[in-house]
Amino acid sequence: MINLAKLQQEIDTVGTFKTKVPEIREVRSIVMDILSLMFPGGFYTKESTNLKSIARRLESQIKIAFKATGNMTQGIDPEQLTETFMTSIPEVKKILFTDIESFYAGDPAAKNREEIVLCYPGFKAIAIYRIAHILYDMHVPLIPRMMTEFAHEKTGVDIHPGAKIGEHFFIDHATGIVVGETTVIGNHVKLYQGVTLGAKSFEVDENGNPVKDIKRHPNIGNNVVIYANATILGGNTYIGDNSVIGASTWIVSSVPAGSRILYSPDTPEAEQFFGECGAGI
């Protein structure tokens, strides 16, 4: 008969976390409780909650996150970070209502705003991202990424919490969208399914390791529409205001304001990347 105690010992010797880490279930529960308070009935939560409970649990997880990453240095105050985050919730809700308006205005299938909160995975992904982004901007480790990966798992939308996204953001159909860490998105932007806003390549150091904390992902201007399966790559790539990026295009260079980029297998590569300003989709 197998010796389970010995087997567990062998498993443990292979490697494990050196310290306690934030609890996945608790972090997911916290973000869902925040959303359920902002939109009662719109997000599932196991039990009634309140701001005091959320603050207490979040502060506990923030402490664990800083300790787990070795960043619990002098000047780090989890209680103050939690208070700052909690006071930001009204502003997050205000921005989310601009997103709801963009969904409602941009999708004829949306019969009312309640349907968007209840049924649209794109809105759920954006809502979780906006909460996580506040914590990311406060340099809280681990927890923001845990939140957005929860959204990724549930919706198929992968938005890094470090991305900067303006108001009136609309993700239609949601599935397969990727928004990288250093992406900047303006106001009134619409993304369709399968869009990737990614890195063109990674700089490496002398040891061959990726260089961190550099601009790797594109900037998207205001009033831009990016259709299904378009790929836009690179930290020096800028999509100008009022542009339309067609389905299945591959863009690694900047596009001027007012552009209309249309994929064609017969179009020379350089023209396909840049398009012709004003050419229509």
Which carries the bigger pLDDT value, residue 123 or residue 19? Answer: 123
Q: What is the pTM of this model?
A: 0.88
Architecture (CATH level 2) of domain 21-157: Orthogonal Bundle (1.10)
Q: Is there a contact between 195 and 178 (Cβ–Cβ < 8 Å)? A: yes
For residues 161-176, give the mean pLDDT. Answer: 97
Q: Please determine, for residue 272, whether its predicted confidence score (pLDDT) is greater than 50.
A: no
| Residues found in the chain | 281
For residues 114-125, give the mean pLDDT. Answer: 96
Q: Where are the domains of the chain?
A: 21-157, 176-281
Instruction: Give me the pLDDT at residue 46, please.
Output: 61
Per-residue confidence band for 149, with pLDDT thresholds at 50, 70 and 90: very high
Instruction: Give me the pLDDT at residue 204, please.
Output: 82
Instruction: Give me the pLDDT at residue 251, please.
Output: 95
pLDDT (tens digit, 9 = 90+) per residue, 249-268? 999 999 999 999 998 776 54
pLDDT (tens digit, 9 = 90+) per residue, 233-253? 999 999 999 999 999 999 999
Average predicted confidence (pLDDT) for the chain:
90
Q: How far apart are CA 119 and CA 42, in angstroms?
A: 9
Q: Please determine, for residue 273, whether its predicted confidence score (pLDDT) is greater than 50.
A: no
pLDDT (tens digit, 9 = 90+) per residue, 45-90? 666 678 999 999 999 999 999 999 887 666 789 999 999 999 999 9
Q: Is 263 helix (H, G, I), strand (E, B) or coil?
A: coil
Instruction: Give me the pLDDT at residue 277, please.
Output: 38
Per-residue confidence band for 130, with pLDDT thresholds at 50, 70 and 90: very high
Three-state DSSP string of 187-251? CCCEEECCCEEECCCCCECCCCCECCCCCCCCEECCCCEECCCCEEECCCCEECCCCEECCCCEE
pLDDT (tens digit, 9 = 90+) per residue, 29-51? 999 999 999 998 877 666 667 89
Architecture (CATH level 2) of domain 176-281: 3 Solenoid (2.160)
Residue 196 burial (CB < 10 Å; 0-12/13-18/19+)?
buried
For residues 139-153, give the mean pLDDT. Answer: 97
pLDDT (tens digit, 9 = 90+) per residue, 88-113? 999 999 999 999 999 999 999 999 99
Instruction: Give me the pLDDT at residue 5, please.
Output: 82
